[in-house]
Structure 1
Amino acid sequence: MDRRNILKALVGLAMCPICTSTGFAAEGAHWSYEGAGGPAKWGDLDAANKACSLGAQQSPIDITATIKSQLPALKIAWGKTTDTIVNNGHTIQLNFAEGSTLKLGDTTYKLLQVHFHRPSEHLVGGKNFPMEAHFVHRADSGGLAVVGVLLTEGKPNAAFAKIVATMPAKEGPAVKADAGINPNGLLPQKLSYYRYPGSLTTPPCSEVVEWLVLTTPMPVAASDVAGFAKLYPMNARPVQKDNRRYVLQSV
């Protein structure tokens, strides 16, 4: 089967991870961020992961040259609380109840979860950041829109501090999240963004994501970054080839 047919065959598998309790990571073959199950091997670990090695629109990328564009505003309407928090063995993830949405143009997406990577997965001009938050949204059509928030060390952030203070230390089932965790607290005031078509950054690396990486980083306390790093010192996929994709930047 040639590369194009393999990728077509993967379309039917692309939505499967959305149904899993641990988010978007493939179940089955063990994968990790280093060693025998590391990113270079993801495509070989399971037939469902072939896009990780064969895909042409993989994420993350190094955001370098951009095209200034009249992009639609990000109309974010999130609730002020989270539902559950889980240590899924790859990251810390918070899940949301129904009701929080993102509207992008004519499409409305429902907020499903947010999870964290250290260091940032996306680079900007060759530079990475201490961490990155990924707010994952899904449209009724099945397409995903992920708002990426780059986290830099600076003044404390109340929402992130509560997450670090209450995150489960060991992998296990989801538990009720602290009622004081407000996801809106992780957003900068200015919602300008970079936009490009890409993929999940974990297996099965399905190319179903509209990436919306905010241009303004959010400061969080260095001590909270260190607290997260005690559990996950490195859980970031290396940058992938852009394959001539255009990155648009809102004006």
Structure 2
Amino acid sequence: MHRQSPTRFGRAVLIAWSAGMSALALAVPVPQVAAAAGAAAPVTAAARAQSAGTPVWNHDPASSDGPPHWSTLTTDWAACGGADDQSPVALGRGRRAPLPALRVEYPPVPLVAENTGHVIEAPQPADQPGTLRFGADIYRLVQWHVHAPSEHVLRGHRYDLEVHLVHRDSQGRTLVLAVLADTARSGGSAAELLRRTLRAAPVQSGEETDTGTTASAIALLPRDVRRTGYSSAVAGEYLTYGGSLTTPPCTTGVRWVVLPTAIHVGDRTVARLHALVARFPGYAGYPDNNRPLQPLGSRTVLRRAG
């Protein structure tokens, strides 16, 4: 197995890694999460997984714990070895189909940045659910997180970053809305939200930081997604296919919706994410957290034209 070539940001991180990680600790301060005297510290998703004895894994294709071996690390992750039902995939134009417009409502909620040891995640409070309507189906926004570089490739281009907005409906079905991002000098609301989130993200896995501010995930959507209110919007153009989660246990039956227009993100924000990934437990300085492309197989990618 040949080692996957890191992105241009990844190469910069590897150089910084070899020079010593003390500089990173100074460049990325670890915010302290204060707890009342005698109060239990919040239990994060990463801490729960660690206590449950979840196998060590990473995103490095050359590692024995990397993507080619996920399905062998535990029988619970056998789905990761699937031949034609996994994500991400390479996307083209897709086949045009009469699909419903996406309607989202994402109210402002407290902005919390969690380091899970595999992604930087912004969990959404259960009592203030954002929603996505796909026809008659209603999904609740559970969390959003970021990968660098992008996991999906669109028309032959791999982007600098990919945001996954993870939704679930009342039956436990999952829909992931994927937003692609490239670096640019001029930013916008998406660039600012990603900058704030990654600046606040703890260096240590299993920790989270409440920024003390609020944010709406509506800011992460491209400008051509029509805003219908302060925290609502309608997406008339997208690609969709059936796939899986892109991290273990690689659960199948996931509906993927990928927006074809990219957002902008600052190059320092992307570099910071790579630096955080390089410090994830078991990554040994590997700076990328994207799963390699999986075969599309017999699946069809559908397109809704705006």
2:54 is matched with: 28
Task: Name 1:174's counterpart in structure 2.
Answer: 208
Paired positions, count: 231
Secondary structure at the counterpart of residue 57 of structure 1: coil
* 3-state SS of paired residue (1:196): strand
1:125-159 superposed Cα distances (whole Å, 9 cap, x missing partner):
22100000000000111110000000111122211
Give a deviation string over 1:151-188, Cα, whole Å, max 9, x none: 11112221111112211122123332441433211111
Equivalent residue for 2:74, pick from 34, 46, 50: 46
**What are the residue-to-residue correspondences of 1:95-174 with 2, within 5 Å?**
95-98=123-126, 99-154=129-184, 155-156=186-187, 157-174=191-208
Matches of 1:68 and 1:45 in 2, distance apart? Answer: 39
Normalised by the length of structure 2, the TM-score is: 0.72
Q: Aligned residue for 2:303?
A: 249
- Which residue matches 1:59? 87
Does the CA-based 8 Å contact 2:88-2:152 persist in structure 1? Answer: yes
Residue 198, structure 1, aligned to residue 222, structure 2: no
Rate the CA distance shift 1:137–1:184 in 2: closer, same or farther, 3 A: same
Amino acid at match of 1:204: P
Structure 2 counterpart of 1:79: 107
Identical aligned pairs, as a percentage? 32
Secondary structure at 1:179 match in 2: strand
Letter of the structure 2 residue corresponding to residue 121 of structure 1:
E
The one-letter code of the counterpart of 1:164 is L
CA–CA distance in structure 2, aligned partners of residues 216 and 185 of structure 1? 14
Structure 1 27/76 Cα, relative in aligned 2: closer, same or farther at 3 Å? farther
Matching residue's letter, 2:272: G
User: Residues of 1 paired with 2:46 and 2:135: CA distance?
Assistant: 29
Structural RMSD (CA): 1.9
Equivalent residue, structure 2, for 1:4: none
| CA shift in 2, pair 1:22/1:75, >3 Å | farther
* Contact 1:162–1:180 (Cα < 8 Å) also in 2: no
Alpha-carbon separation, structure 2, partners of 1:244 and 1:27: 36
Counterpart of 1:84 in 2: which secondary structure?
A: strand
Which protein has the larger Cα radius of gyration, Structure 1 or Structure 2?
Answer: 2
Partner of 2:269: 224
- Specify the code of the residue in structure 2 equivalent to 1:216: T
